[in-house]
Amino acid sequence: MELWANLIVLTWAVAFMLWQGVGFAITLGTVFAIWAILAVSLNLVVGFTGLLSIGHIGFFGIGAYAMAFLTSDASYEQLRTEAIPTLGWPFFAALPVSVVLAGVTALLVGIVFNRFRDDIFVLVSFGFAIIAFSVFLNLRSVTRGAFGIHEIERPAIGGWVLDGEVEFLVFALICLALVVLVCWLIVTSSFGRVLTAIREDEEAIAVFGYQVTHYKLAVWVISAMMAGLAGGLFGSWTTFIDPNSFILLESMLLVCIVILGGLATIWGSLLGAMAFVLLDEGMRFLPFIPSEFVGQARQIVLGILLVLLMLFRPQGLVGRYRL
């Protein structure tokens, strides 16, 4: 079955690209790369460690806002009462800050979250997503609140600005490859085996002298840093962000991607992200729908397809572990 799942998604991706042309595929490739980084990072926490977090979008937002605040050019702003300073940082100086800021935030909240497990952990991660959104909306001196921030910097190497879609896609895929590599090193190391043991029986592994809270906190922070990286990329790619990009629904979609691809498998997260992007964007090509209903029809069909996939593959496309 796993072979079939791989074949179907990959064939589908190639067919979609051949049918729609390379231009649109490049856009979808970038969306895929950003969602895949997020999915891989969340799978570390949910799949490998067994902590179901629905607050990951908060770290994604922190990374995006750090990138926006540090690199945007505020001279465009018409409402001077909502102005933020123009710091003019280059992308590659801001990106590490996005990553570190998300990590530091994760460390601080993780110290508290480590006290919780199972359904209570889900609830507190939900609370984090709500708080993060509220901060993005209300900390107007930094985020411009509902107005959002635009003119966010694209990556530049020397005088070469990666403002083309192809260049950005390549850069995003390199970032994805690095994240996958780090994730693979983690899950194949002794550290990763302890994480899996925590997922299976936290109390049993504690009996052997492992500091479970330290391991959970470490993977939580690493995962958040990856999400911060995805956020920095997202802000730079869209060049505009506002709090609507970081609502709880996005977090739920992210959990869906991880489950769709399969828990505790890196390849599953990549496959899940690819399948989701193809499903979501593929629905733009639904035939015979009157223009007035095209958006709604797309959402309904997407929802039905996701339900069907979960009916047939509750463990995900290539998953080995179920929540």
Residues that bind other proteins (CB under 8 A): 1, 4, 8, 11-12, 15-16, 19-21, 23-24, 26-28, 31, 76-79, 81-82, 134, 137-138, 145-148, 150, 163, 165, 234, 237-242, 244-245, 279, 281-282, 284-287, 291-296, 298-299, 305, 308-309, 312-313
**Which residue number, 206 or 313, has a Cβ lying nearer to other proteins?**
313
Nearest to 179 by CA among 34, 67, 80, 277: 34
**Which residue number, 31 or 94, has a Cβ lying nearer to other proteins?**
31
Here the tokens at position 104 are: 């530091």
Nearest-approach distance from CB 6 to other proteins, in angstroms: 12
Under 8 Å between Cβ of 143 and 243? yes
Measure the CA–CA gap between 193 and 297, rounded to whole angstroms.
44
Angle at 314 between CA 9 and CA 302, to 5 degrees: 55
Dihedral of alpha carbons 133, 139, 141, 145, sign: positive
Per the DSSP assignment, residues forming a β-bridge with 228 are: none
Dihedral of alpha carbons 34, 38, 39, 40, sign: positive
Nearest-approach distance from CB 246 to other proteins, in angstroms: 10
Nearest-approach distance from CB 142 to other proteins, in angstroms: 15
Determine which helix (DSSP H) or strand (DSSP E) holds 305, and give its type and residue range.
helix 294-312
Measure the CA–CA gap between 261 and 272, rounded to whole angstroms.
4
Nearest-approach distance from CB 173 to other proteins, in angstroms: 17
**Which residue number, 188 or 296, has a Cβ lying nearer to other proteins?**
296
**Which residue number, 78 or 190, has a Cβ lying nearer to other proteins?**
78
Measure the CA–CA gap between 192 and 199, rounded to whole angstroms.
11
**Which residue number, 208 or 312, has a Cβ lying nearer to other proteins?**
312
Nearest-approach distance from CB 290 to other proteins, in angstroms: 8
Nearest-approach distance from CB 134 to other proteins, in angstroms: 8
* Burial (CB count <10 Å: 0-12, 13-18, 19+), residue 104: middle
Under 8 Å between Cβ of 122 and 54? yes
Nearest-approach distance from CB 191 to other proteins, in angstroms: 33
**Which residue number, 189 or 296, has a Cβ lying nearer to other proteins?**
296
Query: How many Cβ atoms sit within 10 Å of the Cβ of residue 108?
Result: 11
**Which residue number, 92 or 285, has a Cβ lying nearer to other proteins?**
285
Question: 247-259 b/e with 16+ CB inside 10 Å = b?
Answer: bbebbebbbbbbb
Nearest-approach distance from CB 38 to other proteins, in angstroms: 13
Nearest to 129 by CA among 113, 147, 150: 113
**Which residue number, 103 or 282, has a Cβ lying nearer to other proteins?**
282
Under 8 Å between Cβ of 252 and 125? no
